[in-house]
């Protein structure tokens, strides 16, 4: 006992006496940090400092403030936005024929004209420049709804309202540049594209070989300071028809005309595509979709410095500009494509599962179908929740790098799962390319969303945790900045204070994580009641576990963690599933805790809890640093991992909730455009009619048991017998005939005499 007291006393003295703590604790740890913490390249440093943290910081801290979550605004549209959606958007949707667009590999001329005239390229441009200046919610809603009808049109509308010339001009352009370009972009007089990706620079965008040399050139008798550009870009949407090219390149100043540095860094410029030397027009063919995507190149193309976004002050600031503005693409555009696809899949497949009959019953009655259908429905609810919540952040003027990366990765992956399940359930109908196939083009286009704005493998393995989560930690980024300070005395003083706070933070998370695990989260204090209360408790517990495990991982692996992508990806997964669960809870509350939605909410939350716990468990299983991995696993799961996938009974409840025309189904599938005369309208009509006539259908089928000679009669003959025997009236008979006609159309496919 005396030895124990002595050791405790020594530790207390070491921590409380500043001079001793400096010498024996802070200074050695600071040296260790310099070696252990991941070294950052300039582009990584700029990426780290760009953007904001938001709700992700709460989750990563281990102290999620659920009252704060519900204090964020509810998703809402202005009256002006609603009017546009009810009129101009509906008009556009009625004009679109995705099969014809794909056949012609372009939008029709009247659609291009309508899109430009009605301002579909100007959602982010202020009204003062002639734009619509819509909220992120409206932007997301509109693109989602277009995506449910035509992915080609959705991408065409999405790109000018995402990362590109307008976004960069608004944040970084000079007044003259804004006055010159924004009014033209708003009216569609100027069609923009932005060129970053090239043959040698994809995921490693910071490694672009395209360059500009600072030089002088005589123009109209005047000596002009500018850049001689050489570039070769590919995969650029709208490049074949663009009139203004946004271009990213590296600037070099070998003659030091701008200062003492030679390598000035990544820079962005706006170049009219009719400028001498600019090459555009060649097209790629992205999975046979009809949006325009292609190449651009140029060699020794001279531009004046005032074409650089931000003027000469914008030179070398291009990477920061791009990273800061990525939220639009990752947080709005690509999630919107995913939402449109998911809503389409869920609305049509829930209908098809009731309309399509096999073995004398709707295929939706079979448990195999229900299993896939429940996953699709719950994922669609989660996608919609994440779409709304992420757009809220952008409307609040945040640029949350981590949450938008989470939204991009997980929403596109969930949409991929939705369309895969939809194709499985539609079976033969889903694989026939014809006018009645409303799924195929979205199925073909899913890999595009998966790939762009940071390929999903890159996003999961490097961005969500590898770079972004460092930003969310309350102390690590500050410690990284402190150890890089030139003044060592000041650095030690600041590091000591930060280190003590960090130690306290880690210790509290460690003990809280263990305590919550031992009690099954039951003692977690949450100021919320109702049927979701236990989920808040479990999420708080897993948030504590993530914070503790992440600290231990960064302490033991340091810079190696960035290179151990399989490990860091799992920590990113845990953070992501906490975020998605938060989105579900936020949506459920914002919608007024609708009882009919509860099975979907429970299924979604149980899935996210299971996946979060699984990610943490697998991290510990693969954390091969002495005995640390097993110890961490025992600490956060002392009785083993008890989180489980949603039950079969819950899956059945989810399917039942959407098996009839009702408000729950409307809330889950409202973004799906229903073309009354097209395939989606036919399917909806068949679904509604079958539900309306369900009692009559049951009565007619019962006649087979009453009349043994009727058992094997075809349906139309059975109906005729029922009518003649006065079992059903003439009105019911005609309705049932109409239902059979529309049902056959709904499940039918085209057959061609020649392809």
Return the DSSP state at 76. Answer: -
Task: Classify residue 624 as exposed, middle or buried by CB count within 10 Å of its CB (0-12, 13-18, 19+).
Answer: exposed
- State which fold the 79-187 domain adopts: Butyryl-Coa Dehydrogenase, subunit A; domain 1 (1.10.540)
List the catalytic residue out of 44, 98, 453, 732: 453
Residues 6+ apart with CB under 8 A from 238: 156, 159, 160, 191, 192, 193, 291, 292, 293
Taking the domain 193-318, which CATH number applies? 2.40.110.10
In contact, 684 and 674? CB cutoff 8 Å: yes
Instruction: Convert the pLDDT of each residue in 703-754 to its tens digit.
Output: 888 888 888 888 888 899 899 888 889 999 999 999 999 999 999 999 999 8
Instruction: Convert the pLDDT of each residue in 333-361 to its tens digit.
Output: 999 999 999 999 999 999 999 999 999 89
- The answer on pLDDT for 654 being more than 50 is yes
What pLDDT score was predicted for residue 8? 46
Task: Classify residue 102 as exposed, middle or buried by CB count within 10 Å of its CB (0-12, 13-18, 19+).
Answer: buried
- The answer on pLDDT for 5 being more than 70 is no
Distances (CA, A) of 659 to 349, 365, 376, 666: 10, 10, 13, 12
Confidence band (pLDDT; 50, 70, 90) for 21? low
Percent of the chain with pLDDT over 70: 94
Instruction: Convert the pLDDT of each residue in 68-89 to its tens digit.
Output: 999 999 999 999 999 999 999 9
- Comparison of pLDDT for 512 and 88, the residue scoring more: 88
Instruction: Convert the pLDDT of each residue in 30-66 to its tens digit.
Output: 777 777 665 556 666 666 666 788 999 999 999 999 9
What pLDDT score was predicted for residue 47? 62
Beta pairing class for 293-304 and 357-358: unpaired
Task: Classify residue 112 as exposed, middle or buried by CB count within 10 Å of its CB (0-12, 13-18, 19+).
Answer: middle
- Comparison of pLDDT for 24 and 594, the residue scoring more: 594
Confidence band (pLDDT; 50, 70, 90) for 6? very low
Give residue limits of the domains in the chain: 15-71+326-675, 79-187, 193-318, 693-747
- The answer on pLDDT for 664 being more than 70 is yes
Q: What is the mean pLDDT of the chain?
A: 91
Instruction: Convert the pLDDT of each residue in 223-235 to its tens digit.
Output: 899 999 999 999 9
What pLDDT score was predicted for residue 657? 97
In contact, 638 and 517? CB cutoff 8 Å: yes
Average pLDDT on 112-129 reads 97
Annotation says 453 is catalytic: yes
- The answer on pLDDT for 489 being more than 80 is no
Which region holds residue 201: left if phi is over 0, alpha if psi is between -120 and 50, else beta? beta
What pLDDT score was predicted for residue 1? 45
What pLDDT score was predicted for residue 637? 96
What pLDDT score was predicted for residue 19? 61
Instruction: Convert the pLDDT of each residue in 364-412 to its tens digit.
Output: 999 999 999 999 999 999 999 999 999 999 999 988 889 999 999 999 9
What pLDDT score was predicted for residue 17? 56
Residue 152 CA to residue 106 CA, distance in Å, equals 8
Predicted TM-score of the model (pTM): 0.94
User: Max Cα separation, the chain?
Assistant: 103
Most confident of 444-453, 558-567, 667-676: 667-676
Average pLDDT on 668-673 reads 98
Return the DSSP state at 675. Answer: -
- The answer on pLDDT for 29 being more than 80 is no
- Return the sign of the alpha-carbon dihedral for residues 375, 378, 383, 386: negative
Q: Looking at domain 15-71+326-675, which of 3.30.465.10, 2.40.30.10, 1.20.140.10, 2.40.50.840 is its CATH number? A: 1.20.140.10
What pLDDT score was predicted for residue 755? 83
Residue 181 CA to residue 243 CA, distance in Å, equals 11
Instruction: Convert the pLDDT of each residue in 132-161 to its tens digit.
Output: 999 999 999 999 999 999 999 999 999 999
- The answer on pLDDT for 663 being more than 90 is yes
What pLDDT score was predicted for residue 45? 66
Most confident of 248-252, 478-482, 552-556: 248-252
Provide the CA 630 distance to its chain's centre, in angstroms: 34
Confidence band (pLDDT; 50, 70, 90) for 10? very low
What pLDDT score was predicted for residue 468? 64
Residue closest to 332 by CA, chosen among 270, 408, 253, 425: 408
Instruction: Identify the bridge partners of residue 198 per DSSP, sorted by sequence position.
Output: 201
Residue 193 CA to residue 574 CA, distance in Å, equals 36
């Amino acid at each position: 006992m005396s030895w124990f007291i002595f050791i405790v006393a020594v530790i207390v003295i070491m921590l409380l006496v500043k001079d001793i703590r400096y010498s024996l604790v802070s200074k050695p740890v600071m040296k260790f940090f310099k070696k252990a913490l991941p070294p950052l390249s300039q582009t990584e440093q700029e990426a780290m400092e760009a953007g904001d943290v938001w709700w992700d910081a709460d989750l990563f801290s281990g102290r999620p403030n659920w009252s704060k979550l519900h204090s964020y605004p509810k998703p809402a549209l202005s009256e002006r936005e609603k009017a546009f959606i009810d009129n101009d958007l509906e008009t556009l949707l009625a004009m679109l024929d995705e099969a014809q667009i794909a056949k012609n590999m372009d939008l029709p001329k009247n659609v291009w004209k309508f899109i430009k005239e009605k301002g579909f390229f100007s959602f982010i441009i202020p009204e003062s420049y002639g734009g619509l200046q819509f909220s992120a919610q409206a932007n997301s809603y509109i693109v989602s709804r277009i995506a449910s009808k035509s992915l080609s049109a959705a991408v065409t509308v999405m790109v000018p309202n995402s990362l590109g010339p307008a976004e960069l001009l608004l944040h970084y352009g000079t007044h003259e540049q804004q006055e010159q370009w924004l009014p033209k972009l708003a009216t569609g007089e100027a069609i923009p594209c932005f060129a970053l990706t090239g043959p040698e620079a994809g995921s490693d965008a910071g490694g672009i070989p395209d360059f500009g040399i600072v030089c002088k050139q005589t123009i109209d008798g005047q000596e002009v300071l500018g850049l001689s550009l050489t570039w070769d870009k590919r995969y650029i949407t709208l490049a074949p028809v663009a009139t203004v090219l946004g271009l990213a390149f590296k600037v070099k100043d070998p003659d030091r005309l701008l200062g003492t540095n030679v390598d000035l860094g990544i820079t962005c410029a706006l170049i009219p595509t009719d400028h001498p030397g600019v090459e555009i027009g060649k097209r790629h063919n992205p999975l046979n979709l009809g949006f325009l995507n292609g190449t651009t190149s140029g060699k020794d193309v001279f531009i004046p410095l005032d074409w650089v976004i931000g003027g000469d002050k914008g030179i070398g600031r291009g990477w920061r500009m791009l990273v800061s503005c990525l939220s639009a693409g990752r947080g709005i555009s690509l999630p919107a494509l995913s939402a449109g696809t998911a809503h389409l899949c869920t609305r049509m497949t829930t209908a098809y599962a009731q309309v399509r009959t096999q073995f004398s019953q709707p295929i939706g009655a079979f448990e195999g179908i229900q299993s896939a259908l429940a996953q699709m429905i719950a994922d669609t609810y989660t996608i919609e929740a994440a779409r709304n919540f992420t757009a809220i952040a952008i409307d609040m003027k945040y640029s949350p790098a981590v949450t938008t990366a989470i939204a991009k990765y997980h929403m596109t992956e969930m949409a991929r799962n939705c369309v895969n399940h939809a194709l499985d359930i539609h079976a033969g109908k889903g694989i026939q390319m014809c006018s009645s196939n409303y799924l195929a083009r979205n199925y073909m286009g899913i890999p595009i969303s998966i790939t762009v704005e940071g390929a999903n493998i890159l996003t999961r393995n490097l961005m969500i945790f590898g770079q972004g989560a460092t930003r969310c930690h309350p102390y690590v980024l500050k410690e990284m900045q402190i150890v890089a300070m030139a003044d060592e005395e000041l650095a030690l003083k600041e590091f000591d204070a930060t280190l003590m706070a960090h130690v306290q933070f880690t210790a509290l998370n460690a003990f809280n994580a263990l305590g919550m695990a031992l009690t099954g989260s039951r003692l977690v204090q949450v100021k919320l009641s109702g049927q979701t209360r236990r989920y808040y408790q479990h999420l708080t517990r897993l948030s504590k576990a993530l914070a503790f495990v992440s600290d231990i991982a960064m302490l033991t692996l340091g810079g190696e963690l960035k290179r151990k992508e399989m490990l860091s990806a799992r920590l990113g997964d845990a953070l992501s599933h906490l975020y998605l669960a938060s989105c579900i809870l936020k949506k459920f509350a914002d919608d007024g805790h609708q009882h009919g939605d509860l099975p979907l909410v429970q299924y979604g939350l149980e899935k996210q809890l299971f996946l979060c716990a699984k990610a943490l468990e697998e991290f510990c299983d693969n954390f091969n640093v002495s005995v640390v991995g097993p110890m961490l696993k025992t600490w956060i799961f002392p009785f083993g991992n008890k989180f489980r996938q949603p039950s079969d009974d819950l899956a059945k409840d989810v399917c039942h909730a959407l098996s009839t025309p009702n408000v729950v189904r409307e809330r889950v599938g409202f973004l799906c455009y229903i073309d009354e005369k097209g395939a989606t309208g036919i399917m909806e009509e068949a679904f509604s009619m079958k539900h309306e006539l369900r009692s009559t259908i049951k009565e007619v089928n019962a006649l087979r048991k009453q009349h043994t000679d009727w058992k094997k009669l075809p349906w139309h003959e059975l109906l005729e017998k029922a009518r003649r025997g006065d079992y059903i009236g003439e009105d019911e008979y005609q309705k049932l005939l109409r239902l059979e006609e529309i049902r056959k159309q709904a499940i039918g496919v085209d057959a061609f005499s020649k392809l």
